[in-house]
Amino acid sequence: MANNEDLLKKIIAHSKEYGFIFQSSEIYDGLSAAYDYGQNGVELKNNIKDYWWKSMVQYHENIVGLDSAIFMHPTVWKASGHVDAFNDPMIDNKDSKKRYRADVLVEDYLAKIEDKIKKEVNKARKRFGDDFDEKQFLATNKRVLDRQAKIDEIKGRFVDALEKNDLVALKKLIEDLEIKCPLSGSKNWTDVRQFNLMFSTQFGSLSEGANQIYLRPETAQGIFVNYLNVQKTGRMKLPFGIAQIGKAFRNEIVARQFIFRMREFEQMEMQFFVKPGEEIKWFNYWKEERMKWHLSLGIPESYYRFHEHDKLAHYANAAFDIDFDFPMGFKEIEGIHSRTDFDLEAHQKMSGKKIQYFDNEENKSYVPYVVETSIGLDRTFLAILTFAYTEEKLEDGSERVVMKIPPFLAPIKAAVLPLTKKDGLPEKARKIMDNLKYDYNCHYEEKDTIGRRYRRQDAIGTPYCITVDHQTLEDNTVTIRERDSMKQERIPMEKISGIIGEKICSVL
Ligand code: GAP
């Protein structure tokens, strides 16, 4: 199971060494919180996108896709509330000059107390063995109860300060909890200030009187402003959804933890338009559906949990996160929000255009309500790496790192490897490669010993290695090696494609 910094470091190093992820502009010492996906990374990323798109748009007859522009009219962001309210509270430590998110400092403090409770539970489980009753323990153990009471008290003050936007109360909470700067160790803090996360830029040339516009901080608004276009041209009936994959930009105050929190990232969002009053029913439906989607990747349930929002965003009347057990602990990977009619109503008001749905059955028009599912593509990528990264000690005493990426998402599905570079083996292997490459992303390699080549394919998560040897020339059979079990089997050449297909299609 995850939950250690060491694992994150290993994943970062492995991602670079094997062409998954590089620091942006690395030759200029990098740009913080921006990353490039390398030759294997882009394949994995595309496969995740493809799977999400298929499970949303292709499998649901009432969901259609969209690809809206990143640049949008500046009033969009006024209407959506982002100009006034898309802020994070920031605080600086005067000694280290380091900047932090004030809310994250408190959240980390709370997480530490939660960790202590977890440790108590684990200790007790070991002590009592099979007789251990976790529920009863949590409800009766004095130390746990004291800690829980402390969490509740802090949370009460925290949520109150956030809801009232009371930055003085937030600073007082940080002071009362005696939170120290992890770098300087001091409690010498500035006041808490609000910081708007949107990037802005100039649109058009200055001579034309350029407008200030924003890089979108979410893809959702592109869907809202196209609601009428899609509903009318697609003759969509409620309930229906519009799905979109695309870049989003946020000037995050603290952007650490690799691709978990980036300033440029990708979202996969779906806005589901429903009849007012039916939103909670659909919210519950999508909450469950989205969790099923995550589990369909083949990652065990223990990596996931639901997390109900303590403080609702300005547009929501219900919100849950799906959290994933990243190397840094449980953190949000996807949000499911009941956004009411907030966005469509706001765009209707600001644009002066009627944005409504005519309900034939009820013979009246209304502004639909919206349930949103919003998943981070990069965080999904990191989740898969977290689950997949495996160090193994083998029977012969050697070690290997194998990426147990779900086969249908693996960057390369099969590697074709002639045992030697001579005796006509490369020519035979090339023929196999040519047959497979129209259906699957395959890799051909003849350099190095076969053992080394297997290790390299393990390290990028290739489910199958196909080895062509002298026997192949005689009877058209090859050995096929499976990544996780490392089992090798001799099969006729014509069976290769079917075996790969069966493995990678099992989830689709
Ligand atoms: N339209 C709703 C929305 O944008 P959000 O919870 O702010 O909601 C949705 O973002 C998802 O986008 C998150 O669950 C996360 O996976 C991803 N995300 C948000 N900020 C991110 C960042 N700075 N870097 C990487 N992914 C991010």
- pLDDT bin (cut points 50, 70, 90) of residue 206 is low
**How high does pLDDT run on average in the chain?**
94
- To the nearest 10°, report the CA torsion of 57, 58, 60, 62: 60
Q: Please tell me the distance between residue 233's alpha carbon and the centre of ligand 1 in angstroms.
A: 30
Residue 7 has pLDDT above 70, yes or no: yes
Average pLDDT over residues 130-143: 92
For 333, residues 6+ apart whose C-beta sits below 8 A from its C-beta are 294, 321, 322, 323, 324, 375, 376, 379, 380, 383
Residue 463 has pLDDT above 90, yes or no: yes
* Nearest Cα residue to 197 out of 98, 311, 81: 81
292-309 pLDDT per residue, tens? 999 999 999 999 999 998
What's the CA gap between 476 and 478, in Å, rounded?
A: 7
Residue type present at position 122: N
Of 181-185, 219-223, 253-257, 383-387, the range with the lowest mean pLDDT is 253-257
First to last CA, the chain: 27
Average pLDDT over residues 320-326: 97
Mutation pick for ligand 1 pocket among 287, 324, 332 (CB with most ligand atoms within 8 Å): 332
219-274 pLDDT per residue, tens? 999 999 999 999 999 999 999 999 999 999 999 988 779 999 999 999 999 999 99
Q: What is the pLDDT of residue 123?
A: 92
The sign of the CA dihedral 139, 141, 142, 143 is negative
Ligand 1 pocket residues where CB is under 6 Å: 218, 220, 250, 252, 261-262, 265, 267, 269, 332-335, 372, 374-376, 378-379
Average pLDDT over residues 49-72: 97
Domains of the chain: 1-74+197-389 (3.30.930.10), 87-196 (3.30.40.230), 401-504 (3.40.50.800)
Structure token pair of residue 374: 């919003």
For 300, residues 6+ apart whose C-beta sits below 8 A from its C-beta are none
Q: What is the pLDDT of residue 204?
A: 84
3 state DSSP class of 353: coil
Q: What strand order describes the sheet that includes 464-468?
A: 442-444, 414-418, 464-468, 477-482, 488-492
